[in-house]
Amino acid sequence: MTDKYADPRDRAFIADDNARLSKDLDADYAALGTILQRRGLDIDAITNTVASFGVAIPSWGVGTGGTRFARFPGRGEPRHVFDKLEDCAVIHSLTGATPTVSLHLPWDYTEDMPALRQRATALGLGFDAVNSNTFQDRPGQPLSYKFGSLTHTDAAVRAQAIEHNIDCIRIGQLLGSKALTVWIGDGANFPGQQHLGRAFERYLESTAQIYAALPADWRMLIEHKMFEPAFYATVIQDWGSSLMAAQTLGPKAFCLVDLGHHAPNVNIEMIVSRLVHARRLGGFHFNDSKYGDDDLDTGCIDPYRLFLIFNELVDAQWRKAPDFQPAHMLDQSHNVTDPIESLMTSAIELQRAYAQALLVDRQALSDYQQGNDALMAAQTLKRAFTTDVQPILARARLQKGAAIDPVGAYRRSNYRNECANKRPSAQNFGGGIV
């Protein structure tokens, strides 16, 4: 392994790195092609569909994350949103699967937003939903969000939070974004602390004003969460509250499903199916978890659950479900890995679940379901899930000029060392996810 630096966004570097691997890939791809052909499936068609899949990178995910106890910064941490864009471009050039970035305001605020858009365009990146933030106070902020924001009992605090969200829409328009994600931590830690009904009514009143400021071609994505930072009741605690709010606000309001925002063992694919039925599935924050909102790498704990979610998405596509256009985003906290490596492998885990879901024999499944042949129905899903689609994922990347072995190529580029040389090491060891 040389310690010479090579830009991992350089097509020639990637092509050179692929040269060693393409012969084996061709053999594996041909072998899988034969297996799928026996199942009546065209591997090239599936590869093209997988290659068209894109997921947005959370800007807050390219720096090392932490917990409330501590954050242990890594080497060459991004210092600001422009550094974050450079790192996002590395992820996209090596995976071909992450063409957009989801910003968080004010964490990513910069004076010159048009310059940020220009740099993103030069790097081949676009902007997905912008995320507002009324779950923290910032220096000089007149009114505190300690007891809530859009649902605070004080109308002045609500007005401040509404203004911030409308400001996020204005900034998003400068970036070419088409959606605002609203997650609030508003809630209570004690029974009795908050009137559960009035808090929800204040939420609807506040979000109606934000909704009114949405451009015609924008969406509002409402993100529910069971708990944290509130530990007794959260105003938008579950998909039911989120759906009620979306249906009350209007046709541009949709529900965003963050996988980590549910109690362990909740059937999230069922929630997805209901939101598809209600025509309000706005999108996802993909991650994985074992206990709470752990924000772990997608597919690292329960890849079968991820597959079952994509099975619902592919089924909705197959049934041509109306108003079905979910936005795919990652939302993770990388506390012990190189964030770039975690984001690359997470994007690939999404493509893996998608590819496996595309292998499901939907007619056979429907017939077994109709005939109540429970075992064969379950086996039909398992057969797709247990198919090693690695050659399809690598070929999809190769077709897009990306890397057959993204993590290997990234390490061989010495990009992290280069960043460590260029970017002074971060000194903030405090707690918190960013």
Residues in 150-189 that interact with ligand LRH by CB under 6 A: 183
Residue placing its CB nearer to ligand LRH in the complex, 222 or 243:
222
- Max CA-CA distance within the chain? 66
Number of neighbouring beta carbons within 10 Å of residue 317: 13
Binding flag, residue 239, ligand LRH (CB under 6 A): no
Binding flag, residue 331, ligand LRH (CB under 6 A): yes
Tell me which of 178, 285, 352, 416 binds ligand LRH, using CB under 6 A.
Answer: 285
At 429, list the tokens. 């060891």
Tell me which of 223, 288, 294, 297 binds ligand LRH, using CB under 6 A.
Answer: 223
| Cis peptide upstream of residue 229 (ω within 30 degrees of 0) | yes
Q: What order do you get walking across the sheet with 130-131 strand by strand?
A: 126-127, 100-102, 56-58, 327-330, 281-286, 253-258, 219-223, 179-182, 130-131
Residue placing its CB nearer to ligand LRH in the complex, 37 or 67:
67
Residues sharing a CB contact under 8 Å with residue 229, sequence separation 6 or more, in sequence order: 135, 185, 187
Q: What are φ and ψ of residue 322, in 5° steps? A: -65, 150
- DSSP code string of 295-323: -BPTTSS-HHHHHHHHHHHHHHHHTT-TT
- Sign of the CA dihedral 341, 175, 137, 192? negative
Binding flag, residue 131, ligand LRH (CB under 6 A): yes
Tell me which of 285, 334, 352, 412 binds Mn ion, using CB under 5 A.
Answer: 285
Residue placing its CB nearer to ligand LRH in the complex, 184 or 384:
184
Given 3-state DSSP classes, what are the helix, strand and coil percentages for the chain, each rounded to the nearest 5?
50, 10, 40
Which string of x and - marks every residue 45-74 that binds ligand LRH (by CB under 6 A)? ---------------x--------------
When CB distances to ligand LRH are compared, the closest residue is 183
Residues sharing a CB contact under 8 Å with residue 398, sequence separation 6 or more, in sequence order: 18, 22, 25, 404
The count of residues interacting with ligand LRH (CB under 6 A) is 9
Q: Of these partners, Mn ion, ligand LRH, none, which one is at the site of residue 286 (CB under 5 to 8 Å by kind)?
A: none
Report whether 312 contacts 273 (CB < 8 A).
yes
Binding flag, residue 331, Mn ion (CB under 5 A): yes
**Three-state SS at 371:** coil
Binding flag, residue 258, Mn ion (CB under 5 A): yes
Residue placing its CB nearer to Mn ion in the complex, 58 or 78:
58
Q: Of these partners, ligand LRH, Mn ion, none, which one is at the site of residue 293 (CB under 5 to 8 Å by kind)?
A: ligand LRH
Report whether 384 contacts 360 (CB < 8 A).
yes
Q: Of these partners, ligand LRH, Mn ion, none, which one is at the site of residue 92 (CB under 5 to 8 Å by kind)?
A: none
Binding flag, residue 202, Mn ion (CB under 5 A): no
Binding flag, residue 328, ligand LRH (CB under 6 A): no
The count of residues interacting with Mn ion (CB under 5 A) is 3
**Three-state SS at 66:** strand
Binding flag, residue 312, Mn ion (CB under 5 A): no
Residue placing its CB nearer to ligand LRH in the complex, 60 or 307:
60
Binding flag, residue 297, ligand LRH (CB under 6 A): no
Residue placing its CB nearer to ligand LRH in the complex, 103 or 125:
103
Binding site for ligand LRH (CB under 6 A): 60, 131, 183, 223, 225, 258, 285, 293, 331
